Amino acid sequence: MNGASSPHCVVNGFQRAYPSLIPETVKPEANALLEPSMEGDSGNRKRNHQKRPYNVAVIHVRFGNKDEAFAGLERAFAERSYLLVEYFNTDERLESLKSDRRFAELRRRIGLPRID
């Protein structure tokens, strides 16, 4: 992009600097990411990737929606998503969930060891 930051990099950096402002300022972008994908659109491979329950959970975490994030993680568990096994314990994007008892319970059900 000729040295320019992508919009997502700018949003991520802004989120780190001003986390309390993000939910309202980028809510339309978050909602667009969470809208159901259109069936039969073969050009939406990346968009469909974003619709995976684990990825939807991460989006909810970024916007402070803990209950929705856990609902997405529970859907990922029900679907036996490999992403849970691969990233659940080490994904820094889930850091804000680790103090919630639901995180420890889900980690136990997945069968992952506790990592501090």
Predicted confidence at residue 114, as pLDDT, reads 86
Two tokens at 67? 């209950």
69, 60 Cβ separation under 8 angstroms: yes
> How does pLDDT run along the chain (116 residues), one tens digit per residue?
444 444 444 445 545 554 554 445 445 555 555 555 444 444 454 444 457 899 999 999 998 999 999 999 999 999 999 999 999 999 999 999 999 999 999 999 999 998 86
pLDDT of residue 38: 41
> Tokens standing for 12?
């991520």
CB distance 87 to 61 below 8 Å: no
Single pTM value for the model: 0.62
